Amino acid sequence: TDDDGLMPSPNAQRFEYGTRDFGRYGGIAALIDWHEALGIEAAQSWSRQLAEYLRSRLGECQGITLHTPLDWSDASALTTFSVDGVPAHEYIGGVWQSHKMRLRGVHEVNGARVSTTLFNTVAEIDLLIELLQSYIR
């Protein structure tokens, strides 16, 4: 017990902090209904179209190396790339600071990974390409 009379839980719950986001839990049922109405095939098709579009656009950029195979049978909706000669943290941090786009670092190739999914748009990919081009040296 500390000075305020609080006693930590005797189990792993003592390591939890903060409060729960009950609004998120309240929306799960509606999200599942929406996703089921859309259909898994439509969701997968859109993710594939966006990934292929992103890879095509990245492939057009001199100074960007694409590390993900172009053939869908060898890939997924995850695309890994690097900007030649630029530390990945520079453009990862830059696109987050300017437009709140989240890229995941891939340290093995000094690059970044993008996940294209149901909620992404072609316009977002075009913006990402524009932002990345500003880092090409």
What's the token pair of residue 41?
């095939």
Largest CA distance in the chain: 64
Phi first, then psi, for residue 38 (nearest 5°) are: -65, -45
Burial class (CB in 10 A: 0-12, 13-18, 19+), 8: exposed
The DSSP element (H or E) to which 74 belongs, if any, is none
Q: What angle do CA 127, 58, 84 make, to 5 degrees?
A: 105
- C-alpha distances (whole Å) from 48 to each of 19, 43, 57, 58, 84 are 37, 9, 14, 15, 26
pLDDT at 115: 95
- Helix-, strand-, coil-residue percentages of the chain, each rounded to 5: 50, 10, 35
Grouping H, G, I as helix, E, B as strand and the rest as coil, residue 79 is: strand
Residue-wise pLDDT tens for the chain (137 aa)? 556 677 777 888 877 777 777 788 888 899 899 989 999 999 999 999 999 999 999 999 999 999 999 888 899 999 999 999 999 999 999 999 999 999 999 999 999 999 999 889 999 999 999 999 999 98
